[in-house]
Amino acid sequence: MKTIARSAHLTIWLLSMVFVAGCGNLKFQSLKGSSVENPPLERVKVYIKEFPVTSKANVVDPNAALSDGGYGGGGSSINSLAEAGNAIMVISRPSRIEDLTRSLLRELRPDQLRTFTDYDRVTDLVNVRAIDNPFVLVPPEDEDAQLEISGSVYLLSQRVEQRFSQRSTSASIELVIKDVKTGNVLSLPSTKAGISMTFNSKELEEAIAIFISTLLTQKTLF
């Protein structure tokens, strides 16, 4: 029994050592393939090129909406319909949020960044955590600039007949990171967050910027 216990303790110790070693070697996904040290030894000098927003709405079958218990002004019932796959088509929806560049600049300026602990379902800005900002903003013409960050936002909401939902249903982000020194470009796959907030609100705009910061600071083992 003592031998088994020692063996179990040894296994746990070895696993913990592997975990600790792995955590020490975590690399930023956004820096992969670049000439920047990863993880960086100092804050990485970056500038933002552009972040246009495309706003779309799923047109939901009104019969499905009625069978779902009625359409009460664009709340959770419409979101559940979309999740159930009842959208007929996708149409453009006018939005005052046409570009996220300024919001992202505001988000990346402080010494600490806000990131989401979970973005499967985001309805407020409560579940965020602060981390040390690995980036420092510089002008595009700065000779010391290391990375150019750009991307696009696909903002989705709903419409039943002639009525748009009052809240968004999701936001998908595509990131493009260019190494200024080598010219190499890293295009990260589109990632979606279930951001459900009042459409066109400052809070929605802020949440999308935090989501971009979350993706920029994601780490992997390799």
pLDDT in tens, 113-161: 999 999 999 999 999 999 999 999 999 999 999 999 999 999 999 998 8
What does the pLDDT read at residue 64? 59
* 23 within domain boundaries: no
Number of structural domains found in the chain: 1
* 147 within domain boundaries: yes
* 180 within domain boundaries: yes
Mean pLDDT of 18-43: 81
* 11 within domain boundaries: no
Read off the pLDDT of residues 153-199 as tens digits, 9 standing for 90 and up: 999 999 988 899 999 999 999 999 999 999 999 999 999 999 999 99
Positive or negative: CA dihedral 5, 10, 15, 20: positive
Instruction: Give start and end residues of each alpha helix (H) in the chain.
Output: 2-24, 62-67, 76-83, 101-108, 202-216
Beta-strand pair 87-92/112-116: unpaired
As a whole number, the mean pLDDT across the chain is 85
* 1 within domain boundaries: no
Q: Is 111 in a helix, a strand, or coil?
A: coil
Mean pLDDT of 8-14: 45
Q: Which domain holds residue 84?
A: 28-220
Read off the pLDDT of residues 40-98 as tens digits, 9 standing for 90 and up: 999 999 999 999 999 999 998 776 554 443 344 444 444 444 444 467 899 999 999 99
Quickly state the pLDDT bin for 1 (edges 50, 70, 90): low
* 20 within domain boundaries: no
What does the pLDDT read at residue 66? 47
What does the pLDDT read at residue 142? 97
Q: Are 199 and 166 in contact (CB under 8 A)?
A: yes
What does the pLDDT read at residue 100? 96
